[in-house]
């Protein structure tokens, strides 16, 4: 009895599964390659391209060009013999024909032919408007050219000019030297009183005097004249307290008395 019940259950389940499969098979599976709202993608692409082409053609539409006719230069409003609308490249024969027709119309109406306008009108020399003089553009004097100078002035003119220059000449008379202020040492008087040459020792120096020390000390002064004045003020030339005259010639920091002697003539 139990075996029969089990067999019947299996039979019912098998029939139910068969019915379910039959129902699923009766349904139509959609085509995944078809476009949305179109039979296929190619139809959609063709319709999209057509729509875009229609929009582009509509936006690029231009109004028809107006016809332009050429008129003669001599008289406005008078038609030319053989007026035509410019719509292409003119041939040389057409251009020559138009130019000849324009000249003919200008001669009939009495209008003067057109001339190209120039930037500056030409100069017309006349007694009231003489020609401009030629200017030496190189800026070189012709004083050494006797023929040119002879045309510009005479010998009498040169004498008059020389006399005028001499009348303006003034000779400055020498004046007395200004009095010297201050009571410090006078390096000019010392240069004229001394007789030895630079580098010729006259005074003895201590064991601490050296060229290196003198170079460091001389670097403190702006000029040899100031160093010599300070050297004399500090007891020089016999004593060298600041170490400015290591060789003992009496001249500090390479100070040279010879220019002052030469000015006196000695």
d(CA 33, CA 185): 120
- pLDDT digit string, tens, across residues 33-58: 544 565 678 888 888 888 888 765 55
The β-bridge partners of 85 are: 69
d(CA 210, CA 216): 10
pLDDT, position 6 = 67
Tokens of 89: 């490249």
- pLDDT digit string, tens, across residues 171-205: 888 888 778 777 788 999 999 999 999 999 899 88
d(CA 251, CA 231): 8
Contact predicate 40/33, CB 8 Å: yes
d(CA 261, CA 255): 13
pLDDT, position 90 = 63
pLDDT, position 180 = 74
pLDDT, position 85 = 47
What is the 3-state composition of the chain as percent helix, strand, coil, each rounded to the nearest 5?
A: 45, 0, 55
pLDDT, position 94 = 79
Q: Is the pTM of this model over 0.75?
A: no
d(CA 231, CA 248): 12
Tokens of 51: 């729509």
pLDDT, position 2 = 62
pLDDT, position 82 = 47
Q: Which residue stretches of the chain have pLDDT < 70?
A: 1-7, 12, 19-39, 55-90, 106-123, 125, 133-141, 266
- Give the position of tokens 């006349």: 126
d(CA 245, CA 194): 15
């Amino acid at each position: 009895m139990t075996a029969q019940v089990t067999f019947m259950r299996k039979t019912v389940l098998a029939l139910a599964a068969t019915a379910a499969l039959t129902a699923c098979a009766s349904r139509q599976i959609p085509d995944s390659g078809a476009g949305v709202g179109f039979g296929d993608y190619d139809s959609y692409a063709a319709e999209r391209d057509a729509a875009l082409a229609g929009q582009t053609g509509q936006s690029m539409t231009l109004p028809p060009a107006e016809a332009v006719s050429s008129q003669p230069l001599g008289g406005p409003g008078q038609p030319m013999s053989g007026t035509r609308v410019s719509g292409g490249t003119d041939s040389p024969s057409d251009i020559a024909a138009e130019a000849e027709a324009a000249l003919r119309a200008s001669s009939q109406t009495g209008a003067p032919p057109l001339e190209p306008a120039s930037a500056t009108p030409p100069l017309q020399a006349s007694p009231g408007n003489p020609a401009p003089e030629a200017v030496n553009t190189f800026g070189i004097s012709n004083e050494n050219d006797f023929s040119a100078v002879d045309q510009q002035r005479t010998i009498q003119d040169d004498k008059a000019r020389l006399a005028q220059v001499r009348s303006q000449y003034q000779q400055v008379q020498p004046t007395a030297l200004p009095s010297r202020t201050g009571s410090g040492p006078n390096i000019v008087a010392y240069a004229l009183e001394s007789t030895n040459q630079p580098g010729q020792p006259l005074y003895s120096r201590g064991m601490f005097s050296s060229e290196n020390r003198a170079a460091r000390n001389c670097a403190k002064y702006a000029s040899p004249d100031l160093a010599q004045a300070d050297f004399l003020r500090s007891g020089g030339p016999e004593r060298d307290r600041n170490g400015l005259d290591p060789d003992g010639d009496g001249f500090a920091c390479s100070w040279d008395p010879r220019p002052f002697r030469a000015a006196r003539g000695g």
